[in-house]
Every structure is written in C-alpha cells, then in structure tokens.
Amino acid sequence: MTAAAYLIDLYDTLVVSDWYLWRDRLASRLGLDAQVVSDAYSATRPARSVGAYPDAEADVVAVLRAASVEPDPALVTDLAREETTYFTRATRLFDDSLPAVRALRTAGAAVALVSNCSNNTRPTIVRLGLDDEFDAVVLSFEVGSRKPEPAIYQHALDRLGARGTDAVFVDDQAAYCDGARALGMDTRLIIRRGVIPPEGVSDTDGHQVITDLTALL
C-alpha cells in the first residue's frame, strides 16, 4: 500500500558518484595522504551541510584549513570549480530511481528529496532535472538544518503538507532513519549492492532494509 508521502535521500540512495576518485585526485594534487583528505571532509561536513559557508569556494577553504593546507585564493577558485564540475558530471542516477519516484507520484503520493549536502550539490540537481521529478527538493545547506535534526524532516513534511505518521523515509544511514522514526515516520534503510557511502555502511538499527527503490512500490 502506498503511503501518503515519501522523503528520499539523494546520495547513495537516488544517485551515486565516485567520491573516492575525487578524494584521491585531490590528495594527489595537494601532496597529502588520502586519509587526511577524508578526515578534512568529515570534520567540515556538519558546518558545510547547514550552509555555514556562503559558497563552494568558502567550502573549499574550510576543507583545506582542516587539512592544514594554506588556502591560496587561486588554488581555492580552481579547486571549487573543479570539484563542482566533477560531481555535477560524475553523479548519476541509479536505474531504478526515477521510475520508482514517478510510480509513487502516479499512485498519488507526494515525494520529497531530502539531502545532507553542501553548495556543490545544487548544480547536480539542476543537471539531472530533479526539481521537476519531486514535489519538493530540500537541501540541508539551503534550509540550515541537517539530518538527523528534526527541523529538516519537518521542513520536508510541511512542504508536502504531510504528517510524520503518514510518511515513509528512505536513507542509506541508520542514524538519519533514526531521526525520521523519532517523528513518527516509517523508515527504510537502503543498502545498495556494491556501494560504500563516504559516511560508511550503517548497522540496520532495527530499520527495514531494502536494496533498491522498487521495494517501495
């Protein structure tokens, strides 16, 4: 039975991009160990995800400083452009993503995309035409709240005109499913075969596991 509303994560749920290739490319360019780059992205992720920095260049400055690299202005401009171009081009939809979303909407459900992300994600949304595929697109850096904080889920529910008890939330991270469950939502933890999210593969934490989005139909 189709729920009234669905909130669906973006990265490693609807789309995939080779973040590790970008990490290794950046590490090589900066002369750093790949783990140092990973740690710098992890350390700055909470702030970048809530729009603490005004644009992609400021995000890069934060990452470089976390990696103990002097943020030379020319380097920052170049890396911000390269990073945004890379992810905009490299990010691709899983084959089941749009068919599942379209089927849910055809069945009468309201569907929102809800993503923890930073400034470089909006160009990807535009390239893939996702604003037209969802009833709402809620990006953490634009609304100033990130999963598992209650505000981002509530923002998405309000955009859909839905209650938590009438909604299903889908994500690849159990902690973010926990946040949705706390608001009364049913949850699905998606663990796609062969995909290793930068945030790691979660324990199930009691959430029903699916391996693709057709399981929602």
Q: Which CATH number fits domain 5-16+92-216: 3.40.50.2300, 3.30.70.1150, 3.40.50.800, 3.40.50.1000?
A: 3.40.50.1000
Confidence band for 202, pLDDT divided at 50, 70 and 90: low
Give the model's pLDDT for residue 201: 73
Rounded to whole angstroms, how far apart are CA atoms 36 and 202? Answer: 22
Q: Where are the domains of the chain?
A: 5-16+92-216, 19-90
Q: Which two tokens stand for residue 8?
A: 């669906």
Distance in angstroms (rounded) separating the CA atoms of residues 134 and 111: 6
Contact between 192 and 12 (Cβ < 8 Å): yes
> Which element (helix H / strand E) includes 16?
strand 15-16
Peptide bond between residue 99 and the one before it cis (omega within 30 degrees of 0): no
Q: Quickly count helices (H) and strands (E) in the chain.
A: 9, 8
Whether the CB-CB separation of 207 and 189 falls below 8 Å is answered with: yes
Length of the chain: 217
CA 186 – CA 1 distance, rounded (Å): 13
Has residue 197 got a pLDDT over 80? yes
Say what the pLDDT of residue 207 is: 96
- As to burial, measured by CB atoms within 10 angstroms (0-12 exposed, 13-18 middle, 19+ buried), residue 149 is middle
Q: Per-residue pLDDT tens for 29-65? A: 999 999 999 999 999 999 999 999 999 999 999 999 9
Side chain identity, residue 155: H
Query: What is the rounded average pLDDT for all residues in the chain?
Result: 96
Outline where the chain has alpha helix (H): 19-30, 34-49, 56-66, 73-90, 97-106, 122-128, 140-143, 150-160, 174-181
How confident is the model over 175-195, as pLDDT tens digits? 999 999 999 999 999 999 988
Write the CB contacts of 170 (distance below 8 Å, at least 6 apart in sequence).
6, 7, 8, 9, 13, 187, 188, 190, 210, 213, 216
Hey, CA dihedral for 198, 49, 16, 108, is it positive or negative?
positive
